[in-house]
Amino acid sequence: MRVPQKLSIGDEIRVIAPSRSAKLVKVRQTKTILEKLGFKISFGQHIFECDLQQSASIEHRVADIHEAFRDPQVKAILTALGGYNCNEILPYLDYQMIAENPKILCGFSDITALATAITKKCGFITYSGPHFSSFRMEQGQEYQLSYFQKCLMGNAPFPLTASKVWSDDTWYIDQAKRHFEEASWKVYSEGEASGQLYGGNLCTLNLLQGTPYMPDLANCILFLEDDELVNPAIFARDLTSLLQSTTQIKGMAIGRFQRASDMTEEQLHFILDKHPRLQTIPVFYDVDVGHTQPILTFPIGGNIYMNTKERIMQITKF
């Protein structure tokens, strides 16, 4: 798996909206924050279009993606926001052109579809991590920015550690009094494993089953999360579908659930207990990925080592 060129201070980052419109984001303030970090920010031509489903046309979203990959001045691509319809654009992308111009693509949630498809079809690592809109958040940003920089700007393998606090407040609208709670990673089953890393938003990843955009998950390590629209029964169904679609995985890390999901520790253990394989491989949960904040950045198609007994995870290829 190829690794895109790393991001450097002074590089141009292009913002695209392959799912929901950037009209929903406070663009000016977020652009200023990233410029203060030393980056040049540019925008796709169509990112502010907003139709009945708060998105742009397939044609225009594809055009912005193609332009971002073709432009030699653009060194990294950030998505504005997630949404519901990113998988619509997958059949219309020029994967040969994208493969010939590998570069950083980073986002999460619905962007799981686009990032995973590009990794599968083009043979280079993409990234599950902050959207452009995620940098609007001030409180909790230090942890998030640290892993964004380690993964997208560094070259040395690095350990993942748990954030000390977490928040369920909307990440792209920074409240004056953001509510934080104590955070820690938890262990469902002990063990250690190394392998290729895939994952992101569970319900979005499942949309790729049976398509040319779904990677082979055999012997991989999965990072999975879901948002406030999921509940324990839906998560159980979606997880079962994914596990039934592949041969044995080597490990799993499950992102922290939002309060609105009504997922409890008892419910999660009840769901995981249904799958005997998960009791024989390392499984973390309440990991800092997904729709609570702050979040890690991890490489889709990269490599990871995990040891749940020692509570260690280390990104080794990214």
pLDDT tens per residue across all 318 residues of the chain: 999 999 999 999 999 999 999 998 889 989 999 999 999 999 999 999 999 999 999 999 999 999 999 999 999 999 999 999 999 999 999 999 999 999 999 999 999 999 999 999 999 999 999 999 999 888 889 999 999 999 999 999 999 999 999 999 876 665 667 889 999 999 999 999 999 999 999 999 999 999 999 999 999 999 999 999 999 999 999 999 999 999 889 999 999 999 999 999 999 999 999 999 999 999 999 999 999 999 999 999 999 999 999 999 999 999
Told to judge if 146 belongs to the known catalytic residues of this protein, a careful annotator would answer: no
Distance between CA atoms of 220 and 197, rounded to whole angstroms? 6
CB 181 within 8 A of CB 165: yes
Q: Which residue pairs from 170-174 have beta carbons closer than 8 angstroms and sit at least 24 positions apart in sequence?
A: 171/133, 171/134, 171/136, 171/137, 171/293, 172/24, 172/25, 172/26, 172/30, 172/81, 172/131, 172/133, 172/134, 172/136, 172/137, 173/26, 173/136, 174/136, 174/137, 174/138, 174/139
Question: For residue 5, is it within any domain?
Answer: no
163 and 131 in a single domain? The answer is no
Q: pTM for the full model? A: 0.96
Question: For residue 145, is it within any domain?
Answer: no
**Which is catalytic among the residues 46, 60, 131, 291?**
291
Distance between CA atoms of 181 and 158, rounded to whole angstroms? 26
What is the CATH number for 16? 3.40.50.10740
166 and 297 in a single domain? The answer is yes
30 and 127 in a single domain? The answer is yes
Print the domain residue range for 221: 158-317
Name the token pair of 109.
């949630």
Question: For residue 69, is it within any domain?
Answer: yes
Question: For residue 153, is it within any domain?
Answer: no
Question: For residue 6, is it within any domain?
Answer: no
Question: For residue 2, is it within any domain?
Answer: no
176 and 287 in a single domain? The answer is yes
132 and 162 in a single domain? The answer is no
**Which is catalytic among the residues 55, 109, 133, 167?**
109
Told to judge if 265 belongs to the known catalytic residues of this protein, a careful annotator would answer: no
184 and 306 in a single domain? The answer is yes
Told to judge if 245 belongs to the known catalytic residues of this protein, a careful annotator would answer: no
CB 271 within 8 A of CB 233: no
Query: How many domains does the chain divide into?
Result: 2
Question: For residue 7, is it within any domain?
Answer: no
123 and 196 in a single domain? The answer is no
For 54, counting Cβ atoms within 10 Å of its Cβ (0-12 exposed, 13-18 middle, 19+ buried), the class is middle
